[in-house]
């Protein structure tokens, strides 16, 4: 039994009433009068507590039934909804007021911590709360803890419903679903526009000329045969190869917006892979530190995304310096045909990035190298903020110096023919997919 607010109110009334009896019944300093007031107060309180016990015990016959729906695959760094279904007993005669708390893993941020409401007899209700995991891995959910208010409102009946279950936290699956829907819309909208503009190299069909079409795409032989102006419809070349190299070294262990850089890199790698597989390309993946920790050969088709997801999910960053040259060499030996090789990493300054410059430069001209960096928006804010104190000015000077050295490295990469993307972690996936689609549309590969 858990006391309810009404019980405390009634006990307070009893205490005040006992004092009033003692004051109005005569001299409160006399033992007889004081003893009588205390006895009456204790009798009143005992009666109220007995009623509260009965009130809580009566709930047992019409407890609410609660069940947690199957826990989905959770996405790291996202608000994942968890649904509870509560059903009131048929024999209940009044509105059932309840409180419920689900024992989610302590490592998750849970909102709200406790749910409450009321259910009419023989009816059901669904309640939803969210959990925000910040690390991938396997976790364990606990039981459900319920309280139901007695019909007299004096006490809550509290009990536990066994609901222990395992839960797995994956990379950003919610983001992948959103991206998949976006790509489907583009397939029926933007791709048609690309066809009208004649972007691509592969011939797909002939159609009537319309205003705005490139005259260079007119098929004069077909036009002469049919006596009407026809243009060739071209699409970006299919079955090209994309190799994603994901750094899991020392710099990728740093936290950015609550997640490790490596987790942001995994999310971006999967988003890029989904877009490439959706466009019919072959996608391969390598995860490296001082050596190649994981390698998935290039394949095409949507089922390949599951293989990439299962490969990336258990991996964690390590406190080692990455071997860029070794990773690039391994990828080049595995992939003889020309490919777009995307390096997901981060850098500090020109000196520390010399090996990265050397490695990506070796990929030209056989392959098209693409360096993707995870920029920390906090560093940008530190460099731009107003600094009224000297100590803050020193920190701002360091931030400005780091950004200047970063821009110098990016300029050198571009000079060597390397495509470059330097994006904030939270925008990395979307910007990377957009750049990949631009590469495909411009036939840079």
Q: Are residues 340 and 299 in contact, defined by beta-carbon separation less than 8 angstroms?
A: no
**Residue 221 sits in which domain range?**
173-235
Specify the pTM: 0.81
Confidence band of 330 (pLDDT split at 50, 70, 90): very high
Give the largest CA-CA distance in the chain. Answer: 124
- Same domain for 406 and 275: yes
Percent of the residues in the chain that have a pLDDT greater than 70, as a whole number: 91
Q: How many domains does the chain have?
A: 4
Whether residues 138 and 225 fall in one domain: no
Final residue belonging to a domain, choices 155, 170, 185 = 170
Residue reference for tokens 């006992």: 18
From 170, 197, 222, give the residue that closes a domain.
170
Give yes or no: residues 434 and 354 share one domain: yes
Which secondary-structure segment (H or E) carries 324? Answer: helix 324-334
CA 214 to CA 201: how far, in whole Å? 14
Q: Which of 113, 135, 170 is the last residue of a domain?
A: 170
Query: Is the domain of 55 the same as that of 65?
Result: no
Give the CA distances from residue 129 to residues 82, 102, 147, 250, in Å, rounded to whole numbers and listed in that order: 5, 9, 17, 36
Nearest Cα residue to 118 out of 91, 142, 80, 92: 92
pLDDT reported for residue 196: 45
Residues 195 and 145 in one domain: no
Specify the DSSP class assigned to residue 339: -
Whether residue 365 is preceded by a cis peptide bond, meaning omega within 30 degrees of 0, is: yes
Residue range 337-386, pLDDT digits in tens = 899 999 999 987 777 788 999 999 999 989 999 999 998 877 777 777 77
How far is the C-alpha of 208 from the C-alpha of 217, rounded, in Å? 11
Residue 343's CATH number: 3.40.50.410
Quick one: 116 and 193 in the same domain?
Answer: no
Q: What is the pLDDT of residue 108?
A: 95
Q: The CATH number of the domain where 108 resides is what? A: 2.60.40.10
At 218, the pLDDT band (50, 70, 90 cuts) reads confident
N-terminal to C-terminal alpha carbon distance within the chain: 71
Mark whether 103 and 228 lie in a shared domain: no
> Are 293 and 407 in a shared domain?
yes
Query: Based on the domain organization, do 285 and 382 belong to the same domain?
Result: yes
Q: At which residue do the structure tokens 């040259």 appear?
A: 325
Q: Which positions ≥6 away from 257 have C-beta within 8 Å?
A: 77, 377, 425, 426
Q: How many CB atoms lie within 10 A of CB 102?
A: 22
On average, the pLDDT of the chain sits at 87
- Domain co-membership, 46 together with 89: no
Contacts of 230 (CB under 8 A, 6+ apart): 206, 207, 208, 209, 218, 219, 222, 223
pLDDT of residue 27: 56
Same domain, residue pair 165 and 178: no
* 276: phi then psi, degrees, rounded to nearest 5: -70, -45
Q: What is the per-residue pLDDT across 163-203, written as a single tens digit (0 to 9) for each?
A: 999 999 999 999 999 999 988 887 665 445 544 444 555 55
Note the pLDDT of residue 18.
74
Q: Do 15 and 162 fall within a single domain?
A: no
């Amino acid at each position: 039994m858990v006391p309810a607010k009404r019980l405390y109110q009634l006990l307070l009334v009893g205490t005040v009433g006992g004092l009033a009896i003692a004051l109005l019944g005569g001299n409160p300093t006399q033992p007889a009068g004081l003893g009588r007031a205390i006895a009456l107060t204790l009798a009143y309180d005992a009666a109220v507590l007995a009623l509260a016990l009965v009130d809580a015990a009566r709930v047992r016959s019409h407890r609410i039934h609660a069940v947690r729906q199957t826990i989905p695959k959770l996405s790291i760094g996202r608000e994942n909804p968890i649904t509870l279904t509560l059903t009131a007993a048929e024999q209940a005669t009044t509105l059932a007021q309840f409180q419920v708390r689900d024992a989610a893993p302590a490592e998750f941020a849970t909102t709200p911590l406790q749910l409450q409401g009321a259910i009419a007899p023989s009816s059901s209700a669904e309640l939803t709360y969210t959990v925000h995991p910040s690390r991938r891995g396997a976790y364990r959910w606990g039981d459900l803890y319920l309280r139901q208010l007695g019909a007299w409102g004096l006490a809550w009946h509290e009990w536990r419903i066994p609901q222990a279950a395992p839960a797995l936290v994956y990379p950003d699956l919610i983001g992948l679903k959103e991206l998949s829907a976006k790509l489907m819309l583009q397939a029926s909208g933007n791709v048609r526009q690309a066809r009208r503009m004649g972007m691509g190299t592969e011939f797909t069909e002939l159609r009537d000329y319309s205003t705005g079409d490139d005259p260079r795409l007119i098929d004069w032989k077909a036009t002469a045969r049919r006596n009407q102006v026809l243009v060739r419809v071209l699409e970006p070349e299919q079955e090209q190869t994309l190799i994603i190299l994901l750094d899991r070294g020392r710099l990728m262990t740093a936290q950015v917006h609550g997640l490790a850089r490596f987790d942001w890199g995994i999310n971006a790698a999967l988003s890029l892979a989904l877009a490439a597989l959706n466009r019919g390309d072959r996608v391969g993946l390598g995860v490296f530190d001082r050596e190649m920790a994981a390698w998935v050969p290039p394949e095409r088709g949507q089922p390949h995304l599951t293989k990439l997801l299962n490969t990336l999910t258990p991996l964690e960053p390590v406190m080692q310096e990455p071997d860029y040259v070794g990773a690039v060499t391994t990828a080049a030996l595995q992939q003889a045909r020309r490919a777009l090789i995307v390096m997901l990493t981060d850098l500090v300054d020109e000196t520390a990035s010399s090996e990265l410059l050397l490695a990506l430069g070796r990929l030209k001209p056989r392959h098209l190298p693409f360096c993707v960096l995870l920029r920390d928006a906090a560093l940008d804010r530190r460099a731009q903020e107003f600094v009224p104190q000297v100590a803050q000015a020193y920190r701002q000077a360091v931030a400005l110096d780091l950004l200047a050295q970063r821009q110098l490295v990016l300029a050198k990469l571009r000079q060597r023919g390397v495509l470059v993307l330097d994006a904030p972690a939270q925008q990395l996936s979307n910007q990377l997919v957009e750049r990949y689609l631009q590469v495909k549309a411009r036939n840079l590969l």
